[in-house]
Amino acid sequence: MNAEQPTPPAMDPNAPVRVETLPHAGDLRWPMTWYFLTGKLYSLLPWKKTAWTCAGFPIELLLGLDIFPLHPENMATVAAAQKQSRRLIEHAESMGYSRDLCSYCKTNIGAVDTGAPLKHGGIARPDIITCTNTICDTHWKWFQIQAEKLDVPLFVFDCPKIVSGTDDRTIEGYITYMVEQFFDFFDFVKKHTGKKPDIDRMIKAAEQSERLSALWREIYEYRKHVPSPYGMAETSASFFPLVVMPGVRSGIRFFEKILGDIKQRADQGKGTLTGRERYRLMFEGIPFWYRMRFMYDLARYGAVVVYEPYTFSFAPSKPVNLGYMETLRQVARTMMDVPYSYNLEKRIAYFKQAISDYRIDGVILHENLSCRPSSTGMIDLKNALQQECDIPVLIIQCDMNDPRAFSEAQINTRIEGFVELMERRKTHSPSVGLD
């Protein structure tokens, strides 16, 4: 930073802050209640079956088998929001797990070993456990350890990565490889639960999943408005149905309601910070679940996060009205095309497009100590965006579930510097990068 020309933050960071929430924001409780009650019921009734599964796994497959998905990662975020994750992580570390391991994994290991209740991030023992290396290899080892501990059958998908230079013929071969694994999975499920795939049910779940994703993409279109009618202070919670219950009607109803609110707010020219939106931000990475107040800290400066590659990545476009085999091939294709496996060139192009579309003033990159897939290449990404978009980019080193990594004073100081750079850019002074 140029110490000779300090530019103060645009707003008083100590001033009271008000972030406008949507009228139907509270309706999120209905899909959440449905999810937790149905999960409880499926865990209790002997003829109903449950599976632990992970991000990147196609929930439509489980719904088509009448198996209810339980999400250890989602329950880890519940533990963090309830200020329980540190205790559970430290318990896992006392069992010998390294400080460097993914904190979702350690939260789950701590929760299972201490018998944590549902409200503190606990999770029921499932009938089967299934996962994929679509996003990371941690899922494999984590679920294997827990399957052995709980004595539950495990099925692991090996998902190839589509990287730059992968030609169409190879991709079609990968898809065939994935579909063959789907059929192996159906055999596995039948053997351990007696459940068989219901084709109509699976196709319907795929169609409803696309309906949910399409609503989320439409919500994102409205976030382009200035001021933005919807910010990350709300999306971090409201994208819940996309993660754990795509293909379920209750989530669709919730998204339809909040989309109605967002349209109305946009038509009225209102935003989450009406009259106070000064900086539009992109936030890359998983939020700090134990410290969601961070979004309100940003709002004090008139900063609103209007685009998150993380929450957007849960709503890919999925062709529908396909037959059984084509539905399975499409599920496989979607599994492989995740932004976390993009190479740097593709990732930079993706960010540049979003910066332009959403009129972004600055980018925050969360270099997550837990998560290699979401942190790899961040320095190169930052340098490219600063140079090619002339935009301030801030890297924050932290962790999504381990509050020990959140250094309040240090982060506040860096945010202040970041806001100064955005202000300077707005007033046409040359921008300078942050270390």
Distance CA 171, CA 160 (A): 9
Applying CB under 6 A, the residues found at the interface with ligand SF4 are 55, 102, 104, 135-136, 138-139, 370-371, 373-374
Question: Which of 213, 374 has the CB closer to ligand SF4?
Answer: 374
Considering only CA atoms, which of 58, 318, 337 is closest in space to residue 182?
A: 58
| Least distance from ligand SF4 to the Cβ atom of residue 376, Å | 11
CB of 256 to ligand SF4, least distance (A): 29
Give CB contacts under 8 A, 24+ apart, made by 422-430.
422/279, 422/303, 422/361, 422/362, 422/392, 423/7, 423/8, 423/9, 423/10, 424/5, 424/7, 425/361, 425/390, 425/391, 425/392, 426/278, 426/361, 427/7, 429/5, 429/7
Any bridge partners for residue 157, and if so which?
132
Task: Identify the three-state secondary structure at position 48.
Answer: coil
Q: In what order do the strands lie in the sheet with 362-368?
A: 303-307, 279-284, 362-368, 393-398
Residue number with CB closer to ligand SF4 (9 or 72) = 72
* Residue placing its CB nearer to ligand SF4 in the complex, 55 or 363: 55
The minimum distance between CB 59 and ligand SF4, in angstroms, equals 16
Whose Cβ is closer to ligand SF4: residue 73's or residue 261's? Answer: 73
Report CA dihedral (98, 99, 104, 106) to the nearest 10 degrees.
Answer: 50
Q: For ligand SF4, which is the closer residue by CB, 102 or 109?
A: 102
Q: How far apart are CA 412 and CA 52, in angstroms?
A: 38
Residue 101 beta carbon to ligand SF4: minimum distance, rounded to whole angstroms: 9
- Residue 130 or 138: the one with the smaller Cβ distance to ligand SF4 is 138
Q: Is the Cβ of residue 261 or residue 367 nearer to ligand SF4 in the bound state?
A: 367
Nearer to ligand SF4, 399 or 420 (CB): 399
Least separation in angstroms between residue 268's CB and ligand SF4 is 38
Token reading at 340:
């976390």
Pairing state of beta strands 128-132 and 154-157? parallel
Beta pairing class for 279-284 and 303-307: parallel
Smaller CB separation from ligand SF4, 139 or 333: 139
Shortest separation between residue 159's beta carbon and ligand SF4, angstroms: 13
For residue 365, the minimal CB distance to ligand SF4 (Å) is 15
Least spacing, CB of residue 242 vs ligand SF4, in Å: 15
DSSP classification of residue 403: G
DSSP state of 283: E
Buried b (16+ CB within 10 A) or exposed e, 99-127: eebbbbbbbbbbbbeeebeeebbbbbebb
Q: Do 132 and 57 meet the contact criterion of CB atoms below 8 Å apart?
A: yes
| Identity at 284, one-letter amino acid code | E
Question: Residues 370, 104: contact at Cβ < 8 Å?
Answer: yes
Q: How many residues does the chain have?
A: 435
Instruction: State the minimum distance, in angstroms, from the CB of residue 375 to ligand SF4.
Output: 9
Query: Please, what is the minimum distance in Å from the beta carbon of residue 165 to ligand SF4?
Result: 24
Q: Of 373 and 433, which CB lies nearer to ligand SF4 in the complex structure?
A: 373
